[in-house]
Copies of this chain bind each other. A is one copy, B any other.
């Protein structure tokens, strides 16, 4: 059962190794009959080329890295699905790196990736990332990088996000239009551009509509740990009793729902909530959750397509470009 390799095939067929190699690649310089003989034997012996040996020689891996904070998350899992969708059509494989919002892990992964491990990288940076030296290094190493959702503006490469500012502005405006006067905001770390944009949209909407921005009503969470976040949110809502709430990510909105249930605060009568969310069953929640839905799957596809285009063109440097995709805002009221 020793592994069958190209050498073995060559020996059995009385051909040279290179001929076999070429035949397998369907090279035009090999005779038809020879090709057939080679392919036939390869199939018979269930020959599988060694991906790594080929890659080592060719200096490419046919593999891309997807670096994300988490996978058990509606948004990221949809993005990964989209990425994989196009990767499969291109004959590429997907290596997953979960940073778990740990900056050091992210740095480690990116460093590791540099040595020809992958041909390209799709990344949504971790919450704690501040210094982005590691990403600059990667960019310099002629490994194409595409940022999605959580991006670093100052790395000159392709970036793809949703219209975070605009969507947040509109969403907040919706709350105002519904009569909310005291609108809270739950957000992820300020170190993330995406977070700053969302909060800015929220603030500007307030100001433009004659409401005062009260920074006490804006909370940033640096952790992912729900057991820590939940009591904070519950407390926050209990003390401040906002009548509107804009949430920067789904998880925070769901914790708000739980908090309200426990505090006997009626949504949406006492508190209207709108949140960025990829939750498909938002309409099945009672009360249903008003959502700002990012085109996660399509974003994954788009990001991957940009990357593969660069890979196919042999261009390692992607243009410093920022694409914004449109989110969909859906207001859902109580069905009663």
Q: Kindly state the separation between the CA atoms of A112 and B140 in the bound complex, as whole angstroms.
A: 32
Q: Is the CB of B61 within 8 A of A71?
A: no
Residues of B near A46 (CB, < 8 A) are 111, 114, 137
Q: Which residues of chain A in 46-86 are interfacial with respect to chain B, using CB atoms and an 8 Å cutoff? A: 46, 48-53, 55-56, 61, 63, 70-74, 77-78, 80-81, 84
Contact A115:B56 (CB < 8 A) given known A73-B77, A285-B284: no
Contact between chains at A115 and B48 (CB < 8 Å): yes
Number of copies: 2
A1 in contact (CB, < 8 A): yes
Q: Is the interface of A mostly helix, strand, loop or mixed?
A: mixed
- Name A254's contact: one of B141, B142, B281 (CB within 8 Å): B281
**Looking at the complex, which of A91-99, A162-170, A175-183, A322-330 is the stretch in contact with chain B?**
A91-99
A14 adjacent to chain B (CB < 8 Å): no
User: What count of chain A residues pass the 8 Å CB interface test?
Assistant: 53
Beyond A1-B142, A95-B95, A284-B257, whether A115 also contacts B72 by CB under 8 A is: no
Alpha-carbon distance A279/B257, docked complex (angstroms): 15
Within 8 A of B (CB), among A96-124: 96-98, 105, 111-112, 114-117
Residues of B within 8 A of A96 (CB): 80, 84, 94-96
- Which residues of chain A in 253-277 are interfacial with respect to chain B, using CB atoms and an 8 Å cutoff? 254, 257-258, 261
CB-CB under 8 A from A227, the residues of chain B are none
- B84, B98, B115, B287: the one within 8 Å of A3 (CB): B115
Q: Are B254 and A284 in contact (CB under 8 A)?
A: yes
Asked if A286 lies at the interface with its beta carbon under 8 angstroms from chain B, I say yes
A88 contacts the other chain (Cβ, under 8 Å)? yes
Q: Indicate which residue in B53, B115, B286 contacts A286 across the interface (CB closer than 8 Å).
A: B286
Given A84-B96, A142-B1, A257-B284: A56 touches B48 (CB 8 Å cut-off): no
A positions within 8 Å CB-CB of B: 1, 3, 46, 48-53, 55-56, 61, 63, 70-74, 77-78, 80-81, 84, 88, 93-98, 105, 111-112, 114-117, 137, 140-142, 254, 257-258, 261, 279-281, 284-287, 297
With A3-B116, A71-B84, A257-B281 given, name 17 new contacts (CB 8 A): A1-B142, A46-B137, A48-B112, A48-B115, A50-B116, A51-B112, A51-B115, A52-B55, A63-B95, A70-B81, A77-B77, A95-B95, A95-B96, A279-B281, A281-B285, A285-B285, A285-B286
